[in-house]
Structure 1
Amino acid sequence: MDDHTRQATRLWTLAQPVVSAFVVSAVRDFTARDDVLQETAVAVMESFDRYDPQRPFVAWAMGIAQNQVRLYLRRIQRDRLVFDEDVLVQLAAAFEEAFPEQSPSLGFLRGCLDQLEGRARELCELRYGRDLKPTAIAESLGMSGNTVSKALQRIREQLRACIERKVSFEKGMP
């Protein structure tokens, strides 16, 4: 290990408890805390040659940690798509059209939609909330139109299966 790396490691080891406490206070998700702290450590080590030894190292490392926390918060904001009432109404209408014989069970749709996460939730929002066609969704997400169409088909099947499970459970069938 060269002197430069040894010095960076020594300073990071001293600053890490303070930086860790900051990350823990700012990031609620336990697993994300570790990721943000690790990303901070990597950023500190990668940018150590830009550190000015005339300034306190802890303050410099905290600045990097703040940037990493901001990046994390931006990421989770984008990931959290919440369906509004219009989206739910449009999805229910789409299900009624596709499965008219199952329309009494559409009351379970909200619970099934709440179980969608990540890309599935985003695709539903774009298709039914914003009324975008698969080709427009594909362009905005950098995917192929066929991939989007297939994903939407799988999501509709997933929602249908969820509704059917809830109906079966309510009727007392396992």
Structure 2
Amino acid sequence: MDEKESETHALFLTLFTANEPAIRAYVRRLVPTRQDSADVMQSIALVLWRKFEELRNPEEFRPWAFGIARYEALGWLRDKARNRLVLAEDVLEVVAEESSQQESRLAAQRDALADCLEKLPGDQRELVLAAYAPGASIQNVADRSGRTVAAFYQWLHRIRGRLMNCTHRALKAEGLS
């Protein structure tokens, strides 16, 4: 790989890594399951890389990637149309369009929540993240916290309320509420 290819590769990885959670969330709203979104994301990553040279302005990466993600997801859904759980294409077009329009608001919410999580004391943040980790056992997390399961759920409910209030305040301060 020569220097130019190496720079292109580095730029692509930087842009893709920064935008991958938003693209994944967008795709997740279009396809039925998380596994489906993982399958579609693999295809999207390959197409994005293959067509990366067509992108003229790196600042336009997210809308460009969303466009590709939309076509890949709709194509995947068309291929799966035999499944009764798949929505009609016109409905999917509406969902895709509304999802694109909502992305900036959702990104602001994700950023605000991440900032609010960072404000929690480390031990509390670790317990919240552990409770919502894939495959987490509330019993194990409650034991780790030194609480009963019932007491842990009460504590988690209070923390979620604090996070929600913090997130709302942050969004309101940015004029996004």
Fold in common (TM above 0.5): no
Task: Calculate the TM-score normalised by the size of structure 2.
Answer: 0.42
Query: Over alpha carbons, which structure has the higher Rg?
Result: 1
